Structure 1
């Protein structure tokens, strides 16, 4: 895969590209705390199937940089969706298969619901990833609350300092807890962990986990988008949603089916945790190919 950079109004977005330049566009997004290396194997499979695969580093990760010091280092869902749309615009991509998991899946869902004309099909890890911030203070079951310990830690300044001082330690802890059956080695982790050295990583992460609970305000530039997302709009583009049956942070999303209209299929990757494309690259790539087929002729 070749590393490139494209400039938007807000960011210099670094990304990896694989496949023929005239291939069908496929944009995949990584989550927290992961990076573009989650798609190394899946991208190769997709490129061999004729895709032009584009995998950007999210804001706050890797070589992606904010253009201006005064820009709020927001990690809110509207910002992630706006970044994805701006990425498509900067590259002149009219329509694409979009997908991702965790933060990257959220960005893909945001674009899918607000700009369905730009989306051929959606592959979404953990299904409907748009946050319902208005109901964020409603408690979940004890096991679900226990799994979210890191979010609550990030709500206070002790958590900020902890992440700043030990980015790799917290990320590795989450990798192990969220994917208990994935036997990743030191080299695999370190390849991705370099992306957490981004100077804006901590600010973006902390803002993300505070904003989703309405503990901080968002960037006014994205207020209109957040207002639309508050209505929890349905996904109307062809979608394949995926869960891992060993996901240590998400107990499953079968109940999300009602949020999808039109073609929808939910798949469960046996033995997989949270980092779906890296743990099951062939199955992830097949889901991308299948949703494109389900969408019909371009």
Structure 2
């Protein structure tokens, strides 16, 4: 496959490690994930504001051990090749003088999708379907370029002040190839994991369709599809296998029936019963959005 040949081809000589404290003016922390810290910063080389992401060295090493022998590309290598309006642009990646991986990304003025899900304000209610469509477009782009995201959830998504959705994290992305679809490797955010991933079965891009459906369900309902006292616990995860998801129409009585049906299909326990591609799911949401006049005129 062309993309794999390009991905794993010998690259240029390695750049020198970067002293991020000297090169960047760290203005403030804007995020912290399970494996990284993100700052709003000013790049002294360009003078422009950027988002500087530095990966935790020990946690990154533990993750890489899960894929030993598979030549999994690091996040920076994946991210810098992505070009889509709903994916944050990565300008540069490399190693710091402390041996940590870093990424220099566009800085997006906006808020996390998690914040909007919790607030359920007028902005969220008005644009929820449009946000869902944009997120689906980003995921479709990844799938068309033969990537599986493996960690789609609201905390990895930003909505700009102009209501543009941006997927911002690619730390668990893997190539959509047989070695990475093999049974056994369970990574991701528990509340959004597909049943086959939890059971350590063979996987494919349909695990992302499940996570996407969970995310969209939560966007509309402010709740996960499974009732739980505490998210991301073993008890909550096992519900994905043993308990049908709650009906979105019952939690959000005013939701359009076709929109609800589209989301619920993505939550099917058996991947064969889900949407076969995220493209088909997004197209169904877009059709509903046009019918309901909830999308921009050019969509």
TM-score, length-normalised on structure 1? 0.27
| Structure of greater Rg | 2
Higher relative contact order (CA 8 A, sep 6+): 1
